Amino acid sequence: MSSESNEYHIDIDKDEANPVELLASETGLSKQKIKQAMQKGAVWLTDNKGTHRLRRHSKKLNIGTTLHLYFDETILNGVVDDAILIADESDYSVWYKPRGMLSQGSKWGDHGAINRWVEKNLEPQRPAFIIHRLDRFASGLILLAHKKKTSALLAKLFHDKKITKQYKVIVHGLFPDKTVTYKTEIDDKPAVSHMSLLQYDEINNQSLVLVDIETGRKHQIRLHLSEAGFPVVGDRLYGKERDRVNNTDDLQLTAIKLSFINPFDGVEKTYNLPDDLQPKFKS
């Protein structure tokens, strides 16, 4: 978190308090900045329904509630590329998540998260529920539901490993010309990845690798490849020193395919990422 991060927690001691005026008075921030923070998901309210984001500028607050502001100007001013719609199936949709876009927001804001981006930009407008996650600096296909029932059914498919996920990555080095399975545990949990060489770039000594995963542990693909001696190009966490220090390349890890049986009609659905959005060697 940046040095400009500040948290404010205000217990409401009078009925019908205005959140914008109250936060401006307590924090010294302008009302315009408070309104922007509200729209970007950095203001929360704790009431008899629990703690939830507060976006309505005119919302009247009552005694016994608590107002929260998580203010980080760097985060609130962050800009990401637009997501791209791959398929709109009404009850759910499939999107291309660009590098840098979050799969889910935090208490500091959700304007940079794909579910909020979709809620604001998909027509007709619908709520968007996260079904699965993709690393912030990875790109590719991600599935969102637009009804709670749909969200529950699709989430169960993921839990039951009935959704096929496939990735392409570019790694340093010459990857073996055969299918390799990695089973190194992650956080003491089973993690299985199957990988095969698609193409080798001799000039840059890089390989394009196809990846199928049976489990979805955090950073699974990146960890397995790093441990095997083939770190993903642009991996600033587990990669080569030049990737960690120079930060010249984006993370070359992209989800290219999703496939599952539609729980509503039993029809198999397969979604492929357009070729122009898939990872390629630099010329």
| Tens-place pLDDT, residues 113-124 | 999 999 999 999
Whether the predicted pLDDT of 244 surpasses 70: no
**Domains annotated on the chain, with CATH:** 6-76 (3.10.290), 84-160 (3.30.2350.10), 164-255 (3.30.2350.10)
- Split at pLDDT 50, 70, 90, the class of 248 is low
Strand partners, 106: 109
Residues 161-181 have pLDDT tens digits of 899 999 999 999 999 999 999
Which of 15-19, 28-32, 228-232 is the least confident region? Answer: 15-19
Quote the DSSP letter at residue 98.
P
What pLDDT does residue 2 have? 43
Q: What is the mean pLDDT of the chain?
A: 93
How much is the pLDDT for 208? 98
pLDDT average, residue stretch 146-156: 96
Q: Residue 227 CB: number of other CB atoms within 10 A?
A: 12
pLDDT at 217 over 90: no
Task: Count Cβ neighbours within 10 Å for each residue of 39-68 and write b for 16 or more, e otherwise.
Answer: bbbbbbbbeeeeeebbeeeebebeeebebb
pLDDT digits (tens, 9 = 90+) for 21-74: 999 999 999 999 999 999 999 999 999 999 999 999 999 999 999 999 999 999
Which helix or strand (DSSP H or E) is residue 145 part of? strand 139-145
